Amino acid sequence: MKKLLEGWRKYADDASLLQEASYSRFKRMVDEERRPFLVISAYREDGNNQTANKNLKSDIKTAGYPFTQVVGSGQEEEIDPVTGKEVVKDVLEVTQIVTTHQRGDVEREMSGVEEEESRLFELGKALSSAYDQYAFVFGRPVSIVSTGGRSEDSYFIAAYDGQAPSPEEKYRIKEDWAGPWTTIREATEDDIFWTKIAGTKGVFVENKIEELRNTRIKHRLHGAWRDKMIRKWKSLL
């Protein structure tokens, strides 16, 4: 799953039904439409990945959900069997982005927003367990209540294992690579791990924290305020 979070490259696939599949379409779905989404893979280092991926796509289609196949690109550390030293290698992993949109070829009974979100999360858990995955990624709209009591619409993206009872923050995987994030932005040359969707590289980020980090510091007290606000937003996510 770490590879899933490290980057995606879209593949042409006749079963991929995420309409207008592109970086801008995906970002609009998160930031404006605020639809839930799921990111899941069937890949294992010791498995028949081609067959597993084919079966995964079939399972998603049977469940009535549209998906887009992409490829994760990133790096991972391993021990060189010859030298015994730790080395970094590039990795690729085929994965699927699944959304709550209606498919055109398979009927699925539509329900309310919360129930659709719950069903998609349960699908992620089931597929994660069926394909022996350490984790899957799930994104959903949320409302964050600040210490002043004001509610602000946001989005919550994080990695979960197959035993998580719900997508609540307390059940997410508590590791650095697993989020949480609130949106996706275009990657820069400094970003090692990225998501490439239809030609555009992007990375998951905490939107409010990114804004604060990019704030131009005018003086020392302003810098202290910025650092305090970053800590506050991290505690709210």
pTM of the model: 0.73
Q: Which residues pair with 9 in a beta bridge?
A: 196
Which band of pLDDT confidence, cut at 50, 70 and 90, is reported for residue 190?
low
| Among 140, 184, 127, 130, CA closest to 166 | 140
Which band of pLDDT confidence, cut at 50, 70 and 90, is reported for residue 19?
very low
Output the pLDDT for position 182. 84
Q: How far apart are CA 161 and CA 74, in angstroms?
A: 21
183-186 and 200-205 as β-strands: parallel, antiparallel, unpaired?
Answer: antiparallel
Which band of pLDDT confidence, cut at 50, 70 and 90, is reported for residue 147?
low
Residue in the block written with tokens 């049977």: 62
Percent of the chain residues past pLDDT 70, beyond the cut: 63
Average pLDDT over residues 98-108: 83
Which band of pLDDT confidence, cut at 50, 70 and 90, is reported for residue 187?
low
Output the pLDDT for position 73. 62
Phi, psi of 66 (to 5 degrees): -80, 155
What is the residue-wise DSSP string for 155-202?
EEEEEE-TT-SSS-GGGS--SGGG--BSEEEE--TT-SSBEEETTEEE
Output the pLDDT for position 15. 34
Output the pLDDT for position 114. 87
